[in-house]
Structure 1
């Protein structure tokens, strides 16, 4: 299995490192008179223009009692103004005072300077990797909207290499498969790229800008037969219909391309994928026990009559 060490200890170590790098342990954020929580309130009110305590608590994910105390302190310091909403006198509309606007501008300037200082020693390639890693952290930790659209698109440059890495990593974590499976993936994708036959396709499933899964179709090597390959779905997007959508797209593509039959190769331990194949109408035509990827496995061949 992939050795990731103690994930809790590693996350805590990163948190300590990052809070030191961006100066969160100082009494005032970025040498301003405002601690982090107050600075975030000032920034958010400045960004919104006008807001309410309830909307602010939701936007910041902050305890409402704690936020209420912060608002009172900032109002007493003439940074925030609270005006009763005429349509609902139980609600106060919050906005920045002139002094609050100056404080917000100063905090934004200091934040820009601090960010520039972190980026300055890095080359353009290192900056790109840092920003990409930060974007990936955000995507992983921010739950995808339940209503976000599932988009199927062709792969971009670099993504096929990423698919090899990700699927090898995922099957190692979930099933303990070793580097032999990674080598197989590399051959499958290399064969796909080198295939001159136009009746091939590879789809990336994307949700909220994140890769949610993928699948490919290639000719199976006999007339009229297509092969479904490398179907997978990211764990965080499972249950969203990613696999079903990819399989349906593969079947539709195969029919449009003139194939009359589709085949696929899988293993009996891949239960979720097998459910998708059954629902799509595939049937097992052969299976055998063998040793591969460091385990005793049962491989299966499934087929579907596309003309039915």
Structure 2
């Protein structure tokens, strides 16, 4: 496709999507708030204490325009401001009880709107839509690959990926740590559970590609009680982080963990937990650098070896 046609195709998509989400209306979803005001309410609802500087950077808004938006919301009693305890030059912003009451129905209407889009679509089309949106965000996001930077692409899972995840875990852990085939069986059960329980609003899988070949993976799922398998509210679990030996040293493992945290925050989780073994020093280094702390460890005999299992977690507040 010629470059000019590509530009026009993207512009046509922009016109379609802005109309679809109601961005052209004076207010959003029948609320009294504009799209920009609604986005500010969302940011404040999901970040207990933030500043105008942080909001301007996150939303890429002009400081003067942002100031006017915040003033309107503050005049309505929706935003409270307090002096930062660590920097007297900064003012921390948060929603008042009235602000949270105003945001709740707006948030619910947004969920309902998305539900009306998804419900008529068969499961295969929903998965196709989510994968396409994930690819769009990955390629055009703030951390998108650029020439001379990340030599890989992250994408959502698709048919055939679970078999690859199981196979490569089994082969690599046998080669590098001499784990027996019971480890591969465990990964197969986890992958099957992921597919059987998959909830795209609260769970995700990222597959890393380079030159069309899979080179890494990671999963973020709803954490569950080990005995009852009941969901643990507000807790996500990071699983099956894998980086192929040929892709190590590229920062891929760190990037996969960052993507899990980004998704967890968007999904409303307050904590991420993970389980690993003490001999996985490279993975442990990634978790520690990302701000995870070890909360428990215990010896166990698994996969043909005496090991020390470790539980790590990160609070997202």
Q: Work out which of the residue numbers 249, 273, 279 in structure 2 matches 1:263.
A: 273
Q: Work out which of the residue numbers 215, 235, 253 in structure 2 matches 1:212.
A: 215
1:19-57 Cα deviation digits (max 9, x unpaired): xxxxxxxxxxxxxxxxxxxxxxxxxxxxxxxxxxxxxxx
Runs of 4+ in 1 over 4 A off after TM superposition: 145-148
1:116-172 Cα deviation digits (max 9, x unpaired): xxxxxxxxxxxxxxxxxxxxxxxxxxxxx9766321101221121111011100000
CA contact (8 A) 2:293 2:314 kept: yes
More contact order relative to length (CA 8 Å, sep ≥ 6): 1
- 2:106 corresponds in structure 1 to none
Quote the offset at 1:197 in angstroms.
3.1
Quote the offset at 1:208 in angstroms.
2.1
1:301 equivalent in alignment to 2:311:
yes
Matches for 1:230-269 after TM superposition, within 5 Å: 230-269=240-279
Aligned residues: 163
1:226 partner SS: strand
CA contact (8 A) 2:150 2:250 kept: no
Separation (CA, whole Å) in 2 of partners of 1:207 and 1:152? 9
Distance 1:156 1:296, change over 3 A: same
CA contact (8 A) 1:148 1:208 kept: no
CA contact (8 A) 1:148 1:207 kept: no
Separation (CA, whole Å) in 2 of partners of 1:265 and 1:271? 13
Quote the offset at 1:211 in angstroms.
1.3
2:272 partner SS: strand
2:154 partner SS: strand
Separation (CA, whole Å) in 2 of partners of 1:301 and 1:174? 22
Quote the offset at 1:196 in angstroms.
4.3
1:203 equivalent in alignment to 2:206:
yes
CA contact (8 A) 1:218 1:228 kept: yes
CA contact (8 A) 1:200 1:219 kept: yes
Distance 1:209 1:272, change over 3 A: same
Q: TM-score, normalised by structure 2?
A: 0.50
Separation (CA, whole Å) in 1 of partners of 2:211 and 2:198? 33
Separation (CA, whole Å) in 2 of partners of 1:178 and 1:192? 23
Query: Of the two, which has the highest radius of gyration?
Result: 1
- 1:289 corresponds in structure 2 to 299
1:52-82 Cα deviation digits (max 9, x unpaired): xxxxxxxxxxxxxxxxxxxxxxxxxxxxxxx
CA contact (8 A) 1:168 1:181 kept: yes
1:280 equivalent in alignment to 2:282:
no
Matches for 1:105-184 after TM superposition, within 5 Å: 149-184=151-186
1:286 partner SS: strand
1:224 partner SS: strand
